[in-house]
Amino acid sequence: MKQHLAGALAALLLAAAPALAGTPVTVDTTKPGPQISRHIFGQFAEHLGTGIYPGIWVGEDSKIPNTRGIRNDVVTALKAVKVPNIRWPGGCYADDYHWRNGIGAKDKRPSTVNYLWGRVAESNHFGTHEFMDFIEMIGSEAYVSGNVGSGTPQEMSDWLEYMTADPAISSLARERVANGRKEPFKVPIFGIGNESWGCGGSMTPEHYANLYRNFATFARNYDNAQQLPNGDFDPNGMKRIASGANVDDYKWTEVMMEASTKQIFSWTLDGLSLHYYSGYNQWPPHYSGEGFGEDEYAHVIKSAYKMDELVTKHSAIMDKYDPKKKVILAVDEWGTWYTAAKGSNPRFLQQQNSQRDAIVAAVTINIFTRHADRVRMANIAQMINVLQAMILTEGDKMVLTPTYHVFKLYVPFQDATFLPVQYDAGTYTFNGVTLPALDVTAAKGKDGKVYVSLTNINPKAPAEIDLAALGLKAKGAKGETLAAPKIDSINTFDNPNVVAPKAISAKAQGGKLVLKLPPQSVTVVALD
């Protein structure tokens, strides 16, 4: 009898006790920050492996459904994530690329050797016109990389004249018209070389800084609608992006920014690039893209967080020379780099894409949003079939990766306004690696709604969040969560929806919204 009374009393006390509170997360809508440029969600399509052939280009005669040789399924998928810009033709390939090989009748275009990426044949069937056609199909903008390493200022200038000049005054533009394009192509972003410290020419920063001045002087956009005709700096004109640092080469940034203070009317430095890959700390890469355990998961996520250190330190150097932040820090190569997928050509850099990659993508994007005043462009490497790809293709099949779904979740953050967030991230620790258990960012979208992204990094435990917003009385929240059965879960051609977003919602309770986040998940909600 006493035992029954004791049990009943314990149950009564348990029922009366308040429920354990979740982690408080407070978004401050009263203190808006800088705009989060849509261009931090840029993509990268290099002539590497199967990224272009057949990831984008299959040819007009292919049985794979296409429009003018470009895959219809890929176009549809990319339109859905509103890709703001695509960097092309490289990468390392850019400093081997000679644009004249990729224009005119396809049967007369020369076959060249793609020396860096497998020493395979390059048909040059996907050239300037095909790339620009692709850009227009998906509603994106062109980020064209010019050849400094093996090219000349005249070749670069001729290419821009071919793409952007008026046929009434330019024979190069008339050649463009003869090849099927009357109106000038839009070239809002132009890269002056790539990785000039390495595959782009093995240069010192001082040597490249001098070359940059020379090449940038002749990197002219000839369309008055895209650049002021007198050559003065035009904030709405073509942005010239200089080849920047490899990871933590802060001297390179120092030299280039010092050079930027000596700009004159004939040239500008509008952006400086930065390249960094998570999970890549030796050659050849040693982490696998599939079949890995929690130790590899923790180490790769830790390496993703190094991006914050790199952006902070490079930005500090840039601030010293450019306190008004006119020069863009363009992280135009980022992503994960693992061992090559089994059975693939190791120089094709094809790897699997798992829920771990989704976490890396969310963490990295969040870092960019927190540095939105300086990081105003970024390009994940790469878009299709290469490294941390958005899309994988095989014949006429296509699969969307976990990384693709993260980019889809973050579409409302494009050109949104950064909002500060207060929260206790907690910790997740495994085998000596300690990470934040929670990563949160927020923004006010162009539609006026407040969007919050919450990433639960802990693969072992769910997280309960008490979400509130200063300056806004939220009645509820709706959005999607990207979770997975395991940290190494992947989408395959046979099982394409193992990792797919699912709806999530919450109603206000006592002035807050309670959200339950699964382990290793990415969630984006809009507040009502």
Active site residues: 195, 333
User: On the CB side of 233, how many CA atoms lie within 13 Å of its CA?
Assistant: 13
- The CA–CA distances, whole Å, from 492 to 250, 386, 499, 527 equal 40, 15, 10, 33
φ/ψ of residue 244, rounded to 5: -110, -155
Q: Are 130 and 52 in contact (CB under 8 A)?
A: no
For residues 168 and 158, give the distance between their C-alpha atoms in angstroms, rounded to a whole number: 16
**SS3 assignment, position 303:** helix
φ/ψ of residue 47, rounded to 5: -75, 85
Cis? peptide before 54, omega within 30° of 0 = yes
Strands (E), 445-511: 450-456, 463-470, 476-482, 501-509
Query: Could you tell me which of 326, 249, 305 has the C-alpha nearest to residue 457?
Result: 305
**SS3 assignment, position 321:** helix
Number of neighbours of residue 125 by Cβ within 10 angstroms = 18
Cis? peptide before 151, omega within 30° of 0 = no
Strands (E), 147-286: 189-192, 239-246, 271-278
Q: What is the 3-state secondary structure (H, E, C) of 381-441?
A: CCCECCCCCCEEEECCEEEECHHHHHHHHCHHHCCEEEECEEECCCEEEECCEEEECEEEE
Q: What angle, rounded to 10 degrees, do the helices at 250-260 and 205-218 form? A: 40
Torsion of CA 433, 310, 246, 127, to 10 degrees: 100
**SS3 assignment, position 335:** strand
Non-local (6+) Cβ contacts of 476 within 8 A are 505, 506, 507, 508, 513, 527, 528
Would you say how long the chain is, in residues? 528
For residues 443 and 36, give the distance between their C-alpha atoms in angstroms, rounded to a whole number: 8
**SS3 assignment, position 57:** strand
Residue 443, classified by CB atoms within 10 Å of its CB into exposed (0-12), middle (13-18) or buried (19+), is buried
**SS3 assignment, position 264:** coil
Query: Could you tell me which of 428, 221, 140, 195 has the C-alpha nearest to residue 332?
Result: 195
Q: Are 441 and 454 in contact (CB under 8 A)?
A: no
